[in-house]
Amino acid sequence: MNFRTELSWKAGDCGINHSSKLIFIGSCFADNFGGKFLALKFNVVLNPNGIIFHPFPILETISRAIKDQPFSENDLVKRDDAIFSWQHHSQHFGSEKLQFLNSLNEQQKNLRNQLKSADYIFITFGTAWGFEVKSTGKIAANCHKIPSSNFDKKLTSNAEIASSGIEVIQLMQKLNPNIKIFFSVSPVRHIKDGIIENNRSKAELVSATHQIIEATTNTKYIPAFEWLMDDLRDYRFYGKDNVHPSEEAIEYIWEKLSATFFEEETRKAIHQIQEIISAVNHKPFRSESKEHKRFLEKTISKIKTLEAPIQQAFSSELEILKAQIK
């Protein structure tokens, strides 16, 4: 007897390899999977504005970069001695206004160039509940622990999200006609909003992403939300907080993605990379021994047999290994 419903999925014509340029933007789920690609030495731009959950600031991150629309003082907010941006996660902050703005605008120019040359972009929506800044009328990417009296909490409709998403996709495809775009809805449960409210939010997001995909080309839906909610469908596959997916769930979804994203040659390269990473992280009992030096030399040789983009991604590890041999 079969006690679960397995969800199969194909990405279509998609052969991601280590020469591919990848961008991940969105929630912590995007961060998790972008991080896995990054750890395996893929060419990755990972959440340039930090983790963002709501579709509007996610999409605005892309549209502002494409339009080369610079940040101004109106986009900033001060808390204590730190300056933050309504468009960024709190990990981005400054102490001097002009210097911080210059940094944000330089980063945005970099993102525009990356969007122009990217092969794939992965966009993950986390919640349709947003905090609208009263002074700007825009949904904040992060509230930066500013008092709640400065915000209005709102549920954004699927129609509003879809309209914004379609516009941004069209902008992106004018800049880069060849880019392949993948949408997903994060399976992370935003139960601080309430269980019913979380389900309302996810319904808006799922509906919106499908409206965007149906109205555009070169766009696909990754069923990450459904893999956890309908395929695995068990609290065993959540972490201790019952909110975030467990390591087993993340690995399961990664296997699903790997099966359709990677061709055989890339899977072999990934296996080699994993072996090298394990070797680099090895803690020897006797670091000065001849045996360990031979082990280091063998690891260096393995890195040098890899393709040029992967070798370059291992440059810092190569320096560490060479220093240990001396």
The pLDDT tens digits of the residues spanning 138-159 come to 999 999 999 999 999 999 999 9
On the question of pLDDT at 295 being above 90, the answer is no
Question: In angstroms, what CA-CA distances link 318 with 274, 287, 309?
Answer: 15, 17, 14
Question: Residue 177 pLDDT > 80, yes or no?
Answer: yes
Q: What are phi and psi of 135, to 5 degrees?
A: -75, -20
Domains and CATH numbers, the chain: 21-262 (3.40.50.1110), 263-326 (no CATH)
Residue 222 pLDDT level (bands cut at 50, 70, 90): very high
pLDDT tens digits, one per residue of 308-324: 888 888 888 888 878 77
Coil, helix or strand at residue 67: helix
Q: What percent of the chain has pLDDT over 90?
A: 63
Condensed to tens digits (0 to 9), the pLDDT of residues 254-293 reads 999 988 998 888 999 899 888 888 877 877 777 677 787 7
Collect all residues with Cβ–Cβ distance below 8 Å to 321 and sequence separation of at least 6. 280, 296, 299, 300, 303
DSSP letter for 156, please: P
Task: Please tell me the distance from the alpha carbon of residue 252 to that of residue 256, in angstroms, as a whole number.
Answer: 6
Using CA atoms, how far residue 144 sits from 17, 97, 138, in Å, is 37, 16, 15
In the predicted structure, residue 326 carries a pLDDT above the cut 70: no
Residue 86 has pLDDT above 80, yes or no: yes
Strand, coil or helix: what is 1?
coil
Give the percent of the chain with pLDDT over 70: 98
> Would the CA dihedral through 153, 138, 26, 6 be positive or negative?
positive
Give the pair of three-digit tokens for residue 26. 């969105």
Instruction: State the alpha helices, DSSP H only, in the chain.
Output: 28-39, 55-67, 97-117, 158-175, 195-215, 224-226, 247-261, 264-280, 290-304, 308-313, 315-325
**Which letter does DSSP use for residue 177 in this model?**
T
